[in-house]
Structure 1
Amino acid sequence: MSGHQHQSHQGERLVDAAKARLTETGEQWTGMREAVFEALASFDRPASAYDIAEAVSTAQGRRVAANSVYRILDLFVGANLAMRVESANAYVANSHPGCLHDCIFLICDQCGQAKHIDDDRLTEGVRAAAEKSGFAPTKPVIEVRGTCESCS
């Protein structure tokens, strides 16, 4: 995975890339899934299912339950459209859903921003250490807390 160019997307191109990726997995791109993805992508920080449910409810003028959003977010994580920030129980849209990498998040304790970086050498080392201990890793998630460049 390392050594390739990411094809990052924004705005409508990101929605189109997410739709293409989800349909590649055999899932349907429904109106509600699109609304949840667009709401998720509109946040400039990790968003909880409740944040997303509120945004979708406001946009649609009707109440959308957070548990429905959670199911869609689980689907998105499985299809690589979104990534879960475990320590915050929140999600970020994946700007390059066609690239599969383990998650490394740099999380700012001041402003709440979470930057996703890819370093396959690091995550391969984590996977190798787990395997050496007799553990079969499925998806390492590394979160580094601190202060971002803007807040320092």
Structure 2
Amino acid sequence: MKRTFNYVVMIFVFTAMWIILNEKAGPMQIISGIGFSVLSIFFVNYYLLDDDYIDSYFLNPVSLLKYLFYLVFQIYKSGISAIFKISKGESAVKIIKYDSCLNKELAVCLLANAITLTPGTVTIDKTKNQLSILCFQDDEVFSSGSGGKSCSDFEKILRGI
């Protein structure tokens, strides 16, 4: 029963993405979104993955919404910060190694994408849970040597996924 519910949630999420990309919420977009969602999940399940799709890529909807809202907030916050740094001429960059406290591959990839989406930072390499990040020289958000290993807010949200 839980597996079926998880499939329904994923179909709903994919259909919502389909409607957003089509920029219409008419009956044809909803029906085609459901159809393409079901087809893509089953195609990936049977032909592309060794494990079950839900086991590999299920996203907790509540954590996903928290992640999306926090990501949008961080994009605007970083964008404003980057504008001020660039206009002041403080645009020197550095590459740091960041050890994430996340263990799931999907969560680390979502963290890397979030870092790349925020202005002023780019993830340039990922090895297991270590990320190489290009960021501003004076950026103290990432600490390359965190002895106590405290997780960032993004990582705390992504743990729920």
* TM norm structure 1: 0.28
* TM norm structure 2: 0.26
Structure with greater helix share of residues: 2
